[in-house]
A and B are shown apart, each in its own frame.
Chain A
Amino acid sequence: MSGTVVRGTVHRGNYRDSVELMGIAAELEREPAVTRAGLLMGTPANKAVLESAGLTVATGNGAGPNDLIVAVAATSAAAADAAIARAAELLADRGGSSEVSGDGGTAQAPATLDDALGRMPDANLAVISTPGTYATAEALRALKRGLNVFLFSDNVPIEDEIELKTMAAKKGLLVMGPDCGTSIVDGVPIGFANVVRRGNIGLIGASGTGIQQVTCLIDRFGGGISHALGTGGRDLDERVGGRTMLAAFDRLLHDDRTDVVVLISKPPSPRVAAAILDVVRTSPKPVVVDFVGGDAAAIRSAGAYPAATFDHAAAIAVARAAGEPAPDAERSLPPELEADAAKSAVSLTAEQREIRGLFSGGSLAGEAKLILHDLPAGWKARILDLGDDEYTVGRPHPMIDPRLRFDQILAAGEDPAIGVVLLDIVLGFASHPDPAGALVPAIRVASQAAASAGRGLAFVASVCGTEGDSQGYNRQVASLQEADVIVASSNSEAARVAARIATNCATSASTGTPTITGASSAAAARGGHR
């Protein structure tokens, strides 16, 4: 190709995990003027390839097999130089976290559990994130030493989970996990968690992003968190029997700082639900239960408050924590979102009848699926949980690595059947430093692609996070809004906006008035919806 400029640099003795190298290459290629970026070790075979591509600059520097070569092809010299400089920056940025500290002094990480306990004898919690095969042994070791366990590891057999939780019960300890992503213990965030106000509401959740969404909304509604305890996704399975949820519930009932308890889980098996509600029935503290789509009547008859959505759970908890009565679930949309939904509906063609959910949070995807279950005829919702195992093989979770969603958004822009793209943006510790910013370029390209094909494409998103998170709630919202994304205040509200766009289209199609104004279309849709 004419007009291609190739540049290369050598970073000597620079050892980076392949995942990081690929990440940097992907980030360089995000710049439209960069046609190809590669980060390779300076082996003879790789140098031969680079030389045949005209990249003697890098190879001429005498790179050896332990040196890292950054090679970039771009449409202009300036773009190529900029990419090379950016690569150097990124390599320097990531240096701190991945390089083994060589000073050998006081900062050296402990090599064993006993080593760690020797340095911190009053520790009462171990965080374990070894591969699943070894996690059980480590967790047993921790329990034997009287430590509570936060078990981040997945792929732990269910028999092991039962054994660990049985042992923990005997010792009066808590096993959060396996596959537990989120907890806040006594104000200390563990795993994926957000910076939230402390207060008198305690949570127990079998779902990570469910806990994140509810804690963030409690914070936004003016409430605060005493503890948020993850149980691991399998805890309410028939075989595990909710062992951790029951143990954690007992703790929160006896915790002076906790006045209201919120339980979050996908619908448990009936037997486990009954066991949990039996205990809930005896609780002197108000209990809010969100068994996403679970049996509300059973919850009510146990004296607890059934919540229809995560924001409903947060709203009830905050009200009860302040001694006020529990509010009903919010079903209407604020006027500005009604207007946005009406405007979007008008821009869609008659072929665009799919809502495509591209989610990083599993529970958020589950909640959206439930809300979008009932759509007007001709519409369908395809909600993808991109954090699920089938998508994460060989790559980091989409809350950390935006590439998969980036590509899916681009693909949505080319798909004439998709009218609405629904997104969750999850902030907090361990999440991507700028998740909205990382997706905005794809959103712009996809919008443009749809527009040049003569159709609209609505993007609807919610941001799960707080202003205290390093990514900054307001900054994330602003960067989405700049790209014409409709930003709802919660995940369930975002799903309801998507549903409203669908009902607006259906209404305008059935009345044969494709260009009705925002206000009347919204009113018509609301009237028709009830």
Chain B
Amino acid sequence: VTIEAGRPLVGLGQGLTPSGDDLLVGLTAALTALGQPIARPLAAAWATDAERGTGLVARTFHRNAAVGEYTERMHTLMASILAGPASGIDTAVRRAADWGASSGGDTLVGVVAAFSGIQA
């Protein structure tokens, strides 16, 4: 994962919070939960782009990500993923996916990208 790879996604896609922004925030949320030091610089770089590159709501999510802050929904999801299979991952994923029209799904794509990137 590189800063450059994420840049074109800022402000891209449908919805009040464009899909690309949701994905990027999900990605850095997962990287943060996994203790990856790269999470913060990535989030900070994309947050800078987001200042001019996306709408107010998505920009706010980016700003918070840049200082390592995520929604309670994301925290619950990460906690249950990291706790292992017996911890109600299904429910947490379902709740995360339930957010907005497509934002939940878009965010989960970012989460999956983070996990598969780390495993590879």
Contact B100 A45 (CB under 8 A): no
Residues of A within 8 A of B20 (CB): 45
With a 10 A CB-CB cut-off, give which of A15, A22, A25, A65 has the most chain B CB atoms: A65
Interface string of A18-44 (1 = CB under 8 A from B): 110111010000000000001111011
> Assuming the A-B contacts A65-B54, A66-B56, A389-B94, are A41 and B101 also in contact, with contact meaning beta carbons closer than 8 angstroms in the complex?
no
How far is B55's CA from A46's CA once the two chains are assembled, in angstroms?
11
* Shortest distance from the beta carbon of A38 to any chain B beta carbon, whole Å: 6
Chain A, interface size: which category? 20 to 34
A22 neighbours in B (Cβ, 8 Å): 14-15, 101-102
Given contacts A43-B54, A44-B52, A65-B53, contact A21 B10 (CB under 8 A): no
Residues in A with CB closer than 8 Å to B91 are: 155
| Complexed CA–CA distance, A38 and B101 (Å) | 14
A16 adjacent to chain B (CB < 8 Å) = yes
B106 to chain A, nearest CB (A): 10
* CB of A328 closer than 8 Å to a CB of B: no
* Chain B residue nearest to A65 in the complex (CB): B55
Of all chain B residues, the one with the shortest Cβ separation from A47 is: B11
Output the nearest chain B residue to A17 by Cβ-Cβ distance: B16
Q: Do B98 and A394 have beta carbons less than 8 Å apart?
A: yes
Contact with A along B1-15 (1 / 0, CB 8 A): 000000011111111
Q: Does B28 contact A (CB under 8 A)?
A: no
Q: Which of A18, A40, A44, A389 contacts B53 (CB 8 A)?
A: A44
Chain B: CB-nearest residue to A42: B55
Main secondary structure of the interface of A (DSSP, over half): mixed
Nearest Cβ in chain A — how far from B103, in angstroms? 6
Whether the pair B16, A15 counts as a contact (CB closer than 8 A) is yes
A25 CB contacts on chain B under 8 angstroms: 14
Contacts of B54 in A (CB 8 A): 41, 43, 45, 65
Question: Could you list some 25 contacts between A and B, CB below 8 A?
Answer: A17-B100, A18-B17, A18-B100, A18-B102, A21-B14, A21-B101, A22-B102, A39-B14, A40-B15, A41-B15, A43-B10, A43-B11, A43-B12, A43-B53, A43-B55, A44-B52, A44-B53, A45-B20, A46-B11, A66-B56, A155-B91, A393-B94, A393-B97, A393-B98, A394-B102
- Chain B: number of interface residues, binned into ranges: 20 to 34
| CB closest residue in chain A, given B104 | A394
Q: Are A40 and B14 in contact (CB under 8 A)?
A: yes
Beta-carbon contact of B8 and A45 below 8 Å: yes
Contacting residues, chain A, for B100 (C-beta < 8 A): 17-19, 394
Q: In the complex, A155→B91 CA distance in Å? A: 9
The answer to whether A107 has its CB under 8 Å from any CB of chain B is: no
**Are B11 and A44 interface neighbours, CB within 8 A?**
yes
Closest Cβ of chain A: how far from B59's Cβ, in Å?
8
- In the assembled complex, the Cα of A21 lies from the Cα of B103 at a distance in Å of 12
The reply to whether the CB of B18 lies closer than 8 angstroms to some CB of chain A is yes
A327 to B50, CA, bound (A): 68
Report the minimum CB–CB distance from B4 to chain A (whole Å).
14
Chain B residues positioned under 8 Å from A45 (CB to CB)? 8-13, 18, 20, 53-54
Interface residues of B in 1-53 (CB under 8 A from A): 8-18, 20, 52-53
B98 proximity list for chain A (CB < 8 A): 393-394
7 further contact pairs, Cβ within 8 A, besides A18-B17, A40-B15: A18-B101, A41-B11, A45-B11, A45-B12, A45-B20, A65-B54, A394-B99
Taken together as a complex, chains A and B put the C-alpha atoms of A15 and B59 apart, in Å, by: 14
- The answer, yes or no, to whether A49 is at the interface (CB within 8 Å) is yes
In the complex, A395 has a CB within 8 A of chain B: yes
Q: Report B-chain residues with C-beta under 8 Å of the C-beta of A49.
A: 12
Q: Which 7 pairs of residues, A with B, have the shortest CB-CB distance? A: A43-B11, A18-B15, A45-B12, A18-B101, A22-B101, A45-B11, A19-B101
Chain B residues near A46 (CB-CB < 8 A): 11-13, 18
Complex interface: chain B residues within 8 A of A395 (CB): 101
**Cα distance A155–B96 when bound, in Å?**
13
Answer yes or no: B110 CB below 8 A from chain A CBs.
no
Shortest C-beta distance, A392 to chain B (Å), equals 8
The contact string, 1 if C-beta is below 8 Å from chain B, for chain A 379-411, is: 000000000010001110000000000000000
Which residues on the A side are within 8 Å of B8 (C-beta)? 45
Q: Flag if A38 contacts B52 (CB, 8 Å).
A: no
CA distance A43 to B53 in the complex (A): 6
The closest CB in chain A to the CB of B22 belongs to: A18
Contact with B18, one of A15, A17, A43, A393 (Cβ below 8 angstroms)? A43
Q: Which of the residues B10, B13, B97, B104 comes within 8 Å of A40, measured between beta carbons?
A: B13
* Nearest CB of chain B from residue A282's CB, rounded to whole Å: 41
Q: Is the CB of B16 within 8 A of A394?
A: no
| Minimum distance in angstroms from B88 CB to a CB of chain A | 11
**How many Å lie between the Cα of A40 and that of B55 in the bound state?**
10
The chain A residue sitting closest to B51, CB to CB, is A65
Contacting B at CB under 8 A, from A109-133, are none
With CB as the reference atom, state the residue of chain A lying closest to B10: A45
Distance in angstroms from A70 CB to nearest chain B CB is 12
Cβ contacts under 8 Å, A40 to chain B: 13-15, 18
Find the A residue at minimum CB distance from B106.
A18
Q: With A65-B55, A394-B104 as given contacts, are A41 and B97 in contact (CB-CB < 8 Å)?
A: no
Expressed in whole angstroms, the minimum distance between the Cβ of B51 and any Cβ of chain A is 9
Chain A residues with CB under 8 A of B94:
389, 393
Residues of B within 8 A of A44 (CB): 11, 52-53
Contact in complex: A65, B11 (CB < 8 Å): yes
Interface-centre pick from B8, B15, B53, B57 (highest chain A CB count, 10 A): B15
Of all chain B residues, the one with the shortest Cβ separation from A25 is B14
CB-defined interface of B56-85 with A at 8 Å, one 1/0 digit per residue? 111100000000000000000000000000
Residues of B within 8 A of A23 (CB): 101
Residues of A within 8 A of B102 (CB): 18, 22, 394
1/0 per residue B86-97: CB within 8 Å of A? 000001001101
CB neighbours (8 Å) of B101 from chain A are 17-19, 21-23, 394-395
Given contacts A41-B11, A43-B53, A44-B53, contact A16 B97 (CB under 8 A): no
